[in-house]
């Protein structure tokens, strides 16, 4: 079966220019040098644009930032955002450090280097003054630094295409077949590889067979949410005052990234909302209120079918810090049993600190007559999608699934969200036959996707006709650098493969993009079921993706 041919993406070819075989040794060495910094960056929470003074030249810093969907197609899809030229390209720098890591990677390659780093003030890249200055203010002349190596990857807009020919499906099959035949990959396999430039499937092994996708489901969730809402959509939490009863209602807008921490780092802040609400109440000479909370945007059961689990809080339209009971921002953690009640209690404490007394909060629903007092909004949806994919964030995934249902006019519960996701993908012209969405995160073992759907979806996100889907590609973890791939691909595939992982007991999956030695950009998806050793299966999938990136399949 061949997936529907997508709109040709000829414009991508000039941006995947440098042959991988020539750059991999240097890329691997550079990766080892900067990986500790990038791992730290990947856990940071900074959705705003990170200060460019540490990253790029003054000229680059002057470049204006367009709207979030206006990404340069080459960077978004070819995995070349590790190059210095890509650092100056627009796009969300999300809280997970996805863009921070790419920026630091590029800076590491742009610095002047050699045997005398930073000693000569004419060439130092440090922000402070040189320690070689004497008390008279003169600077000792030190040896000039050795010349730095050229950037490993070609920046955007530079060079001419070195793609030699259309990729050869037979050569690809000869390469992939034995690797995907590994016993570590269990009893069932759905695999596909698509040439992104043409949208044609080059390799398939059970590609149309629907299997449990685990967290690769999040790729589909992201596509549906972006298609339904747009990448610039924001989720708003507000406080409203009922005119008759003087009841203050905290109204949840479904933002799982709302935070009560002192340092919000660009996410919507419950403290800011308390500041503005208290100020508005005092202007009305109100110092005491009945506090309620409204979580009615979502419907149905809050608890995921897997039950109480540290991977996911109850799905609520009102929560702070994903209901976590510790200071973590990703990964597993104990969760509060009622996120909305917890958020309202924290809001009450913050109001008390600002001179507003409240009753113990209880559930309610804001009326149409409620007077808006204050609101805070999330970063754009593109940033939420990137954080979700990079960190495999289940709470954001379930929130985006519900938001898709709301935007589609469906009931905002697990069933309605699943149907809304499928409907949105079908409207995009994707091969949804056999797929079944029971949630947005992939934690439900009853979810079903095909490798054909995942690869077609990734190719669609690369199509210039669908710029709203670009955050799917920019959010994919970068091999050896960010998110769930930070500690994987320590060989020459670091920085070349971008992929979403998926792991459940007996299930291992990997879906993403890779650039081969001839400059071809591939979208791939591997779904394995019946695996008995998680780590062995994961390694087998990594070897396959690495081989794809090393292929000269022209």
Q: What is the DSSP code string of 337-371?
A: S-HHHHHHHHHHHHHHHTT-EEPPPEE----TTPE
Grouping H, G, I as helix, E, B as strand and the rest as coil, residue 237 is strand
Nearest to 97 by CA among 398, 481, 471: 481
Residue 458 pLDDT:
97
- Report residue 425: phi and psi, to 5°: -65, -35
- In sequence order, what DSSP letters do the residues of 264-280 get, joined into one string? -TTS-BHHHHHHHHHHH
Check if 460 is active-site: no
Note whether 72 and 90 are within 8 A (CB).
yes
Q: Does the structure show a pLDDT above 50 at 70?
A: no
Q: Does the structure show a pLDDT above 90 at 227?
A: yes
Note whether 177 and 205 are within 8 A (CB).
yes
**Residue 317: CA atoms inside 13 Å, Cβ hemisphere, count?**
25
CA-based radius of gyration for the chain: 25
- Report residue 449: phi and psi, to 5°: -135, 165
Tokens found for residue 542: 């990594």
Q: Which of 46, 218, 438, 500 is catalytic?
A: 218
Note whether 294 and 372 are within 8 A (CB).
no
Check if 392 is active-site: yes
Q: Which of 95, 190, 215, 408 is catalytic?
A: 215
Note whether 526 and 180 are within 8 A (CB).
yes
Q: Can you tell me the distance from the alpha carbon of 317 to that of 236, in angstroms, rounded to the nearest whole number? A: 10
Residue for token digits 């969200």? 417
| pLDDT (mean) for 279-289 | 96
Q: Residue 324 carries which DSSP code?
A: B
492 vs 351, more confident: 351
Residue 552 pLDDT:
78
Residues paired with residue 189 on neighbouring β-strands, in sequence order: 528
Nearest to 108 by CA among 194, 27, 221: 27
Q: How confident is the model at residue 13 (pLDDT cuts 50, 70, 90)?
A: very low
Q: Does the structure show a pLDDT above 60 at 82?
A: no
Residue 153 pLDDT:
34
Check if 218 is active-site: yes
Residue 196 pLDDT:
93
Q: Does the structure show a pLDDT above 50 at 256?
A: yes
Q: How confident is the model at residue 554 (pLDDT cuts 50, 70, 90)?
A: low
Q: Residue 378 carries which DSSP code?
A: P
Note whether 324 and 335 are within 8 A (CB).
yes
Nearest to 9 by CA among 52, 72, 57, 60: 72
Q: Does the structure show a pLDDT above 80 at 16?
A: no
**Minimum mean pLDDT range among 49-58, 241-250, 380-389, 425-434:** 49-58
Q: How many residues does this entry show for the chain?
A: 554
Q: Which of 269, 330, 364, 392 is catalytic?
A: 392
pLDDT over 70, % of the chain: 69
């Amino acid at each position: 079966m061949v997936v529907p041919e997508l709109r040709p993406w000829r414009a991508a070819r000039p941006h995947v220019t440098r042959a991988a075989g020539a750059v991999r040794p240097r890329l691997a060495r550079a990766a080892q040098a900067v990986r500790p910094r990038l791992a730290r960056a990947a856990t940071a929470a900074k959705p705003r644009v990170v200060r460019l003074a540490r990253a790029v030249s003054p000229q680059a810093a002057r470049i204006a930032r367009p709207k979030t969907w206006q990404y340069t197609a080459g960077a978004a899809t070819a995995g070349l955002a590790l190059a210095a030229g890509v650092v100056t390209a627009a796009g969300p720098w999300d809280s997970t450090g996805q863009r921070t890591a790419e920026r630091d990677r590029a800076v590491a390659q742009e610095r002047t280097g050699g045997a005398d780093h930073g000693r000569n003030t004419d060439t130092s890249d440090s922000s402070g003054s040189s320690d070689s200055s004497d008390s008279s203010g003169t600077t000792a002349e030190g040896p000039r630094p050795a010349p730095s190596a050229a950037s490993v990857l070609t920046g955007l807009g530079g060079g001419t295409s070195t793609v030699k020919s259309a990729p050869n499906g037979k050569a690809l099959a000869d390469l992939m077949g034995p690797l995907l035949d590994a016993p570590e990959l269990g009893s069932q396999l759905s695999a596909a590889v698509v040439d992104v430039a043409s949208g044609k499937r080059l390799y398939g092994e059970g590609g149309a067979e629907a299997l449990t996708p685990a967290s690769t489901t999040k790729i589909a969730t992201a596509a549906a949410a972006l298609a339904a809402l747009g990448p610039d959509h924001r989720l708003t939490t507000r406080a409203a005052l009922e005119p008759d009863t003087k009841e203050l209602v905290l109204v949840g807008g479904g933002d799982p990234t709302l935070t009560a921490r002192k340092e919000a780092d660009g996410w919507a802040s419950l403290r800011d909302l308390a500041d503005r609400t208290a100020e508005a109440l005092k202007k009305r000479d109100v110092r005491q209120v009945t506090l309620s909370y409204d979580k009615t945007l979502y419907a149905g059961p809050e608890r995921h079918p897997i039950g109480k689990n540290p991977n996911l809080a109850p799905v609520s339209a009102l929560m702070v810090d994903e209901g976590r009971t510790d200071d973590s921002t990703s990964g597993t953690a104990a969760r509060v049993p009622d996120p909305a009640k917890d958020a309202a209690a924290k809001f009450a404490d913050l109001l008390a600190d600002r001179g507003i007394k409240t009753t113990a909060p209880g559930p309610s629903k804001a009326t149409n007559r409620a007077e808006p007092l204050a609101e805070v909004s999330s970063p754009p949806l593109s940033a939420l999608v990137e954080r979700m994919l990079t960190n495999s964030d289940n709470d954001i995934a379930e929130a985006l699934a519900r938001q898709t249902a709301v935007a589609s006019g469906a009931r905002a519960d697990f069933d309605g969200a699943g149907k809304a996701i499928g409907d949105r993908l079908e409207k995009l012209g994707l091969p949804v036959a056999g797929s079944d969405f029971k949630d947005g995160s992939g934690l439900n073992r009853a979810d079903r996707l095909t490798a054909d759907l995942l690869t077609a979806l990734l190719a669609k996100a690369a199509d210039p006709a669908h710029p709203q889907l670009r955050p799917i590609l920019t959010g994919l973890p970068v091999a050896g650098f960010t998110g769930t791939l930070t500690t994987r691909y320590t060989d020459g595939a670091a920085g070349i493969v971008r992929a979403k992982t998926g792991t459940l007991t007996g299930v291992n999956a990997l879906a993403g993009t890779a650039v081969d030695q001839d400059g071809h950009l591939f979208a791939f998806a591997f779904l394995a079921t019946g695996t008995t050793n998680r780590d062995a299966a994961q390694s087998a999938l990594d070897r396959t993706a690495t081989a794809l990136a090393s292929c000269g399949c022209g």
